[in-house]
Amino acid sequence: MNFKTPDFAIKTEILAGITTFLTMVYIAFVNPSILHDAGMDQGAVFTATCLVTAFACGLTAFLANTPIGVAPGMALNIYFSYSVVQGMGVSWQHALAMVFISGVLFFIVSLTSLRRLLIESIPHNLQVAILIGISLLIALIALQSNQLIVSGSHTLMHLGDLGRPQSLLFFLGFLTILALDYYRIPGAIISSILFISGLSLLFGLTTWKGIVALPPSLAPTLLQLDFTGLTSTASMKAIFTFFLIAVFDATGTLIGLLNQSVFKDKPCYAKRLSKSLTADAAASTLAGLLGSASTSPYIESAAGIEAGGRTGVTAGVIAFGFILMLFFYPLAAAIPTYAVGPALLYVACCMIKHVIHLSLDDITETAPCMLIMMMIPFTSSIADGIGSGIILYTVLKLITRQKLNPLLLILALVFILFFLIS
């Protein structure tokens, strides 16, 4: 590894690392909250989140020499808690085993040309539709978990009690993030979380638990993986979905972050990109062992790149930041769900911006995309959404005698098999 690039300046890299850290540190609060809904110990998940993120960023720094922050992915922890554990009715121990297996598969694929072939087999429109569908699911979960929308006796859902203090604080937090983001103020999400948590303490809705303490024990989640029964169709479909989300999310994000001329024109661009994927895959494997959802490169890394981050030093600073975060669990424990919920809704807003990249002139493109975007939030299953869209896309292309990637046909047959025997 060589950190000495023409653009290298230690002060600039450190500042870039701090900037990216502030934009993504919210995951230390959000990930434990989401996985707690799966029945996992919140303190242990907090420790696992910080350690996995520090490992992922450190490995990205020393292996790939890229200024990329890597942490448990929002789409992946949502899928873990709400689709796999709550939706399928399996234990979180089984879900951790799925994370581990998908991480191993991702690691193997990242070392081969199969990753490129798999990415190329999924049409661009479908990849974008999957992102939009996941964004709608995240938004739905954010609103439901904070009782802003509730199930009705005569309707599928309707507005909850918007006059509750918790609801008002939720909307205030959301507006705070949007305003800070608009004015490009670093740390918009974490600033909003701390602001709403402070107001919650002031109004007596939560209790003060301190700021600094020794990190919570990892024991409740460490090596708690349960591999029994993972040969079932439902489990295999879930593992396959973990794998697909990780591959698409990581590859798409990294290409977007590193595809700027400042990186692409540098020597070893392709190698840096490939090694970044390998680091992410290795971290996802570790996540299953420690007790967290799979990792993914964070689009928030763009803030650090814009601040001048060009090398692994930026990622190293992020890693150091999350090591320090280990000692701030009392602060994390005092943060209510209505302070975290706005962050989820904001992430959904950021993801849905990809809709501008859809090209829907052809009905054989439009219909599968629409099906994916509806099925993911309506079924609360990313796997069912992806599978139904791929099947419809393949069938339509065969009927209309349009060009079709053979690997996509194989994926469609796999999902048909999953649906028939699940």
Q: Give the chain's length.
A: 422
Block residue for tokens 């540098």: 266
Residues forming beta bridges with residue 72, ordered by sequence position: 295
The greatest distance separating any two alpha carbons of the chain, rounded to the nearest whole angstrom, comes to 65
Block residue for tokens 């959404």: 385
Element at 296 (helix H, strand E): strand 295-297
What are 334's two structure tokens? 């005092």
CA gap 87, 375 in Å, rounded: 14
Closest CA relative to residue 189, chosen from 47, 290, 299, 291: 299
Sign of the torsion angle spanned by Cα atoms 8, 13, 16, 20? positive
The one-letter amino acid code at 65 reads N
Closest CA relative to residue 216, chosen from 34, 48, 372: 48
Closest CA relative to residue 57, chosen from 403, 343, 315, 356: 315
Element at 70 (helix H, strand E): strand 70-72
Whether residue 243 contacts residue 106, with contact meaning beta carbons closer than 8 Å, is answered with yes
What are 397's two structure tokens? 């292309």
What are 232's two structure tokens? 């079932």
What are 195's two structure tokens? 């602001």
Q: What local confidence, expressed as pLDDT, does residue 51 receive?
A: 95
Closest CA relative to residue 26, chosen from 189, 135, 182, 184: 189
- Angle among Cα 369, 373, 379 to the nearest 5 degrees reads 130
Closest CA relative to residue 382, chosen from 238, 231, 229: 238
CA gap 214, 82 in Å, rounded: 30
Residues forming beta bridges with residue 297, ordered by sequence position: 70
Whether residue 85 contacts residue 276, with contact meaning beta carbons closer than 8 Å, is answered with no
Sign of the torsion angle spanned by Cα atoms 203, 209, 215, 218? negative
Whether residue 284 contacts residue 292, with contact meaning beta carbons closer than 8 Å, is answered with no
Q: Which residues contact 267 (CB under 8 A, 6 or more apart)?
A: none
Residue 158 DSSP SS3: strand
Q: Where are the domains of the chain?
A: 10-207+230-351, 363-421
Cα dist from 398 to 71, 368, 408, whole Å:
39, 13, 12
The one-letter amino acid code at 164 reads R
List per-residue pLDDT tens for the chain, 422 residues long.
Answer: 454 444 457 888 888 888 788 778 888 888 998 899 899 998 899 999 999 999 999 999 988 888 889 999 877 888 889 888 988 888 999 999 999 999 898 888 888 777 667 667 778 888 888 878 878 887 887 888 788 888 777 777 788 888 899 999 999 999 999 999 899 887 787 788 889 989 998 998 888 877 888 888 999 998 888 888 788 878 888 888 888 778 777 776 776 667 654 565 566 666 777 788 888 889 989 999 999 988 888 877 776 776 677 788 899 999 999 999 899 888 777 778 888 788 878 878 887 888 888 888 899 999 999 999 998 888 877 777 888 999 999 999 999 989 888 888 988 888 888 777 65
Beta carbons within 10 angstroms of residue 197's beta carbon: 23
